[in-house]
């Protein structure tokens, strides 16, 4: 009887009825599927890249502006801006106080005259200072620089009234007697605190200065405050040949008469204020 070799037991089959193929190396089908998927992915990417690349033609070349950089006025230019166009609009590092305009454009003068267009904050040039105000201030009196000249100050809207020292205060009064004429005449000198401005010296050696914003005649006490209080800077007024006088230590405040009392008030954009603050410097009455 021939001898038989026992055969290894067969692997149990899966529930759906098929059994693994033992003649092939395990996992080869998965490797083929993975390789095919990778190849398909590479082909798809290459196709997409080739389709997205734009065609190089004349339409894709950068457009160069044909506008010359030296185009004249009225033409747009793409040239670099000039240095003046990029300069800072403010020359100082700190804020500057607002300076009111001396006139409202188109508004009539309160006394019927033509309205000036200059700002009261602009200093008078030597050629625009009142005539005869002395060589130090660009006048035509022929005096040497710094020498005082005798001046009286007349109101623009009350032309029969002058600055007049009465009881230590400066009033706007009519001048009728020789004593009144002497009290209404001052020596116009370089400003005690600013030589480009004015100070008004009195016959007794004092000066006109503001204190508590009221103009008065007082003796010089030698202080820096006194020198500033007694210094006033002339600015162009609404009427030709007239000035407004701005305080050197209170910019924006100007001498004006109110109830015929001279005082230092902030600028007001009104015809009355502009008329009350406008004065003419003329030859001394005495």
pLDDT tens figures, 151-206: 999 999 999 999 999 999 999 999 999 999 999 999 999 999 999 999 999 999 99
pLDDT digits (tens, 9 = 90+) for 221-243: 999 999 999 999 999 998 889 99
**pTM, to two decimals:** 0.53
Dihedral of the alpha carbons of 227, 233, 239, 240, in degrees to the nearest 10: 120
Average model confidence (pLDDT) for the chain?
72
Buried b (16+ CB within 10 A) or exposed e, 139-170: bebeeeeeebbbbbbbbbbbeebbbbbeeeeb
pLDDT score recorded for residue 1: 55
pLDDT score recorded for residue 30: 74
Q: Give the chain's length.
A: 286
Higher per-residue confidence, 123 vs 245: 245
Distance CA 194, CA 228 (A): 8
Distance CA 166, CA 208 (A): 12
pLDDT score recorded for residue 61: 44
Three-class DSSP category at 37: helix
pLDDT score recorded for residue 43: 81
Dihedral of the alpha carbons of 248, 142, 148, 160, in degrees to the nearest 10: -80
pLDDT score recorded for residue 33: 80
- pLDDT tier at 253 (50, 70, 90 boundaries)? very high
pLDDT digits (tens, 9 = 90+) for 120-147: 544 444 334 443 333 333 333 333 345 6
Mean pLDDT along residues 250-258: 97
pLDDT digits (tens, 9 = 90+) for 263-280: 999 999 999 999 999 999
Q: Which of 286, 230, 278 is nearest to 256 (CA)?
A: 278
- The full DSSP string for 50-87 is HHHSPP-SGGGSPPPP-S-TT--TTS---SPPPGGGGS
pLDDT score recorded for residue 46: 81
């Amino acid at each position: 009887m021939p001898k038989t070799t026992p055969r290894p037991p067969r692997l149990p089959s899966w529930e759906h009825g098929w059994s693994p193929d033992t003649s092939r190396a395990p996992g080869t089908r998965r490797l083929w599927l993975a390789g095919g998927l990778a190849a398909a992915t590479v082909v798809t990417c290459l196709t997409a890249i080739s389709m997205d690349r734009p065609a190089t033609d004349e339409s894709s070349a950068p457009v160069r502006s044909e506008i010359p950089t030296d185009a004249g006025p009225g033409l747009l230019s793409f040239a670099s801006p000039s240095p003046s166009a990029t300069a800072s609009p403010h020359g100082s590092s700190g804020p500057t106080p607002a300076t009111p305009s001396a006139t409202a454009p188109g508004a009539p003068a309160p006394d019927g005259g033509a309205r000036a267009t200059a700002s009261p904050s602009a200093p008078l040039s030597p050629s625009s200072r009142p005539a005869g105000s002395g060589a130090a201030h660009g006048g035509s009196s022929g005096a040497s620089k710094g020498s005082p000249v005798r001046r009286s100050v007349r109101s623009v809207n009350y032309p029969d009234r002058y600055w007049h020292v009465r009881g230590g205060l400066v009033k706007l009064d009519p001048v009728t007697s020789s004593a009144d004429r002497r009290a209404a005449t001052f020596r116009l000198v370089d400003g005690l605190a600013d030589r480009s401005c004015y100070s008004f010296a009195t016959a007794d050696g004092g000066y006109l200065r503001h204190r508590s914003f009221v103009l008065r005649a007082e003796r010089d006490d030698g202080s820096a405050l006194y020198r500033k209080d007694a210094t006033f800077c002339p600015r162009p007024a609404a009427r030709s040949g007239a000035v407004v006088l701005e305080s050197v230590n209170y910019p924006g405040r100007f001498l004006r008469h109110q109830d015929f009392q001279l005082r230092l008030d902030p600028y007001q954009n009104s015809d009355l204020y502009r008329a009350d603050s406008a004065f003419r410097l003329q030859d001394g009455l005495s």
